[in-house]
């Protein structure tokens, strides 16, 4: 286990705004993997950063770490209307990922936030926590092959046609559609990736952004065409375009490289920064490097 001094050195890399963003992202994920209060303190420090993309990723990592120590700061970020929508959304999702009943009050309060992406996120977080403490949860034993903490559990259904129908049915509760989404992701085939890609045409920006995220997790080239389409649409929500860019970086095909290079000068800062980070991820995926979160090794 790294010493406190080593964790502080990694934290210094994360918080150094003069360093390239991809380098800071690698430091962030190194801290996420190490865990502990010192690591969280450095991640939390970045919520005053200029980059909404980095702050959003910090909130995501705090949720994945599932450490209650981060809850007070995540609540503060959710409440802060001066923060970018994607940062507040991710703070709400992180509170749902940590899964404590103690945050139900604040999440329910923000289920009616005027920003629809924040409201929908808090609604999902409430339903996830309710599910965690339900009898249904005790009966289910589904495993997540991607080892991520997701905003909704997968369904036990395995029929692609049924799952896609639920995924695209905008009359169903968003939580149910998310469950279908993660079921399709876990199947992880060309057919399930294509079914998911159809979700990038749905009306909810939050939903489209999550579709892009899971397509990136799958790293299946079948999703490239629709991901590129949404990234290329200038009128698409920036949080969706950003997630499409990062997904293309994870898939790491050659055509992804050219697309990402084309958008490194996009007018939206979060899209430009996402392409920069995605190109670093693509380079990692095409390399023989042992791990992406390699800051500790580099500092050593």
Q: Which domains does the chain have, with CATH numbers?
A: 1-139 (1.25.10.10), 141-290 (1.25.10.10)
Q: pTM score > 0.75 for this model?
A: yes
Cα torsion angle, 27, 96, 123, 119, sign: negative
Cβ atoms 248, 224 nearer than 8 A: yes
CA–CA gap between residue 139 and residue 271 (Å, rounded):
41
Tokens (6 digits) for 294: 């390699």
Question: 145-172 pLDDT, tens per residue?
Answer: 999 999 999 999 999 999 999 999 999 9
Tokens (6 digits) for 39: 């690591």
In the block, which residue shows the tokens 């005790």?
138
CA–CA gap between residue 269 and residue 282 (Å, rounded):
20
Q: Nearest 5°: CA angle at 244, between 49 and 233?
A: 105
Report which of 167, 263, 175, 172 is spatially closest to residue 215, judged by C-alpha positions.
167
Radius of gyration from C-alpha coordinates of the chain: 18
Q: State mean pLDDT over 230-254.
A: 98
In the block, which residue shows the tokens 């799952």?
163
Backbone angles phi, psi at 292, to 5 degrees: -75, -45
Backbone angles phi, psi at 61, to 5 degrees: -65, -40
Burial of 41 per CB tally in 10 Å (0-12, 13-18, 19+)? middle
In this prediction, residue 274 carries a pLDDT of 98
Q: State mean pLDDT over 266-294.
A: 95
Q: State mean pLDDT over 33-60.
A: 98
Q: What is the DSSP letter of 101?
A: G
Q: In which band, very low, low, confident or very high, does the pLDDT at 141 lie, cut at 50, 70 and 90? A: low
| % the chain with pLDDT above 70 | 98
In this prediction, residue 138 carries a pLDDT of 64
In this prediction, residue 293 carries a pLDDT of 86
The contacts of residue 156 (CB under 8 Å, 6+ apart) are 140, 142, 183
Output the average pLDDT for the chain.
96
């Amino acid at each position: 286990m790294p010493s406190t001094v080593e964790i502080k050195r990694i934290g210094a890399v994360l918080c150094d705004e003069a360093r390239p963003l991809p380098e800071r992202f690698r430091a962030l994920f190194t801290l996420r993997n190490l865990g502990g209060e010192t690591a969280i303190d450095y991640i939390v420090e970045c919520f005053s950063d200029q980059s909404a993309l980095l702050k959003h990723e910090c909130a995501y990592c705090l949720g994945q770490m599932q450490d209650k120590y981060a809850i007070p700061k995540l609540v503060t970020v959710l409440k802060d209307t001066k923060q970018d929508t994607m940062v507040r959304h991710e703070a709400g999702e992180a509170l749902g990922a940590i899964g404590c009943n103690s945050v139900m009050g604040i999440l329910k309060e923000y289920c009616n936030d005027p920003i629809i992406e924040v409201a929908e996120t808090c609604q999902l977080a409430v339903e996830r926590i309710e599910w965690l403490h339900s009898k249904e949860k005790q009966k289910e034993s589904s495993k997540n092959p991607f080892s991520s903490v997701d905003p909704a559990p997968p369904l036990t259904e395995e029929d692609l046609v049924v799952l896609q129908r639920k995924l695209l049915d905008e009359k169903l509760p968003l939580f149910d559609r998310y469950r279908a989404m993660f079921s399709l992701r876990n199947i992880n085939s060309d057919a399930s990736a294509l079914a998911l890609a159809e979700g990038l045409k749905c009306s909810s920006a939050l939903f489209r952004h999550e579709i892009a995220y899971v397509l990136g997790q799958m790293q299946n080239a079948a999703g490239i065409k629709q991901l590129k389409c949404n990234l290329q649409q200038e009128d698409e929500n920036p949080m969706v375009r950003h997630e499409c860019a990062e997904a293309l970086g994870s898939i790491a095909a050659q055509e992804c490289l050219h697309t990402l290079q084309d958008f490194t000068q996009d007018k939206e800062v979060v899209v430009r920064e996402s392409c920069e980070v995605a190109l670093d991820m693509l380079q990692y995926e095409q390399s023989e490097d042992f791990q992406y979160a390699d800051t500790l090794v580099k500092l050593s």
